[in-house]
């Protein structure tokens, strides 16, 4: 009887582990909703992975320094959001607030955090004509990734450009090093050209909880086997 009870307990632990791991599998790959508010000098194209095709697609684009753009879309956790930014040579900048899963995590450009990695910029800064709406231009960019130059608060120029007063969460200007002009906190100009940024997509919080449950179940099973 005692042996039977031990077997039943073992089966119960296995069932719990299988359930937890199944939940992890289902939720880890659940899509992540994204809402991004951004402004770029001078033009930009925004790309993300389509969860239906798993292919990089164009989300949107714009060409107006004195305008804030907002995009809402769904993408794949742990993929990347890419922003290609073209500077006409005056004051290169990019600033954004990115919200994942309706506030589960928020990424602010130029602000360090223990829970997210800020936007990165590619080491290759190309000529203005490299600017493109084609995903292939992103995929074939080459180069490596590193931290961007970080400038002043975006709303520091609200006196001259009132629209930037809408950035109220500490968003800062970022650009390809060495920067884009002392008037927004950088030390030098990159000159006219095209930069490529990327941001890692954070998973939904439920995925992380499920992963923790799966690991906990595995630990219980190992203890029972011992």
pLDDT confidence of residue 2: 59
Specify the pLDDT at position 214: 47
**pTM above the 0.95 mark?**
no
Q: Which two three-digit tokens encode residue 57?
A: 């697609």
Concatenated DSSP letters for 175-200? ESTT-B-GGGT-SSB--SEEEEEEEE
Mean pLDDT by 10 residues, the chain (226 residues): 53 46 50 96 95 98 95 97 88 85 93 87 90 97 94 92 96 81 64 91 58 48 52
Place of tokens 């119960």: 12
What pLDDT sits at residue 112?
Answer: 86
CA angle 167, 102, 50 (to 5 degrees): 100
Q: What angle do CA 80, 84, 89 make, to 5 degrees?
A: 150
| Domain chopping of the chain, boundaries | 2-28+207-225, 32-202
Separation CA 181–CA 187 (nearest Å): 6
**Residue 42, phi then psi, degrees to nearest 5:** -110, -40
pLDDT at res. 190: 67
What's the rounded Cα separation, in Å, for the pair 101 and 170?
20
How much of the chain is in helix, strand and coil states, percent to nearest 5? 30, 35, 35
Among the listed residues 67, 61, 35, the one whose alpha carbon sits nearest the alpha carbon of residue 194: 61
Is the bond leading into 42 cis (omega within 30 degrees of zero)? yes
How crowded is residue 53: how many other Cβ atoms within 10 Å of its Cβ? 8
Give the pLDDT of residue 138.
98
How far is it, in rounded angstroms, from Cα 134 to Cα 116? 28
Q: How far is CA 99 from the centre of its chain?
A: 9
Q: Which of 41, 58, 78 is nearest to 139 (CA)?
A: 58
CA–CA distance, 110 with 153 (Å, rounded to integer): 9
């Amino acid at each position: 009887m005692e042996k039977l009870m031990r077997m039943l307990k073992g089966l119960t632990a296995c069932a719990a582990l299988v359930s937890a791991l199944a939940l992890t599998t289902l939720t880890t790959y659940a899509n992540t909703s994204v809402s991004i508010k951004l402004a770029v000098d001078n033009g930009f194209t925004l790309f993300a992975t389509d969860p239906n095709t798993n292919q990089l697609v164009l989300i949107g684009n714009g060409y107006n320094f004195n305008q804030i753009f907002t995009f809402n879309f769904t993408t794949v956790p742990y993929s990347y959001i890419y922003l290609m930014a073209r500077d006409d040579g005056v004051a290169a900048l990019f600033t954004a607030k990115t919200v994942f899963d309706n506030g589960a995590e928020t990424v602010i450009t130029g602000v360090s955090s223990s829970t997210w990695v800020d936007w990165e910029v590619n080491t290759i800064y190309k000529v203005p004509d490299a600017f493109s709406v084609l995903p292939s231009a992103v995929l074939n960019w080459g180069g490596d990734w590193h931290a961007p130059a970080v400038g002043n608060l975006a709303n520091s120029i609200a006196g001259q450009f009132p629209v930037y007063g809408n950035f109220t969460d500490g968003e800062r200007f970022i650009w390809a090093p060495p920067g884009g002009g002392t008037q927004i906190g950088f030390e030098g100009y990159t000159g006219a050209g095209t930069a490529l940024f990327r941001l890692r997509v954070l998973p939904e919080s439920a995925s992380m909880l499920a992963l923790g449950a799966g690991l906990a179940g595995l630990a219980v099973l190992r203890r029972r086997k011992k």
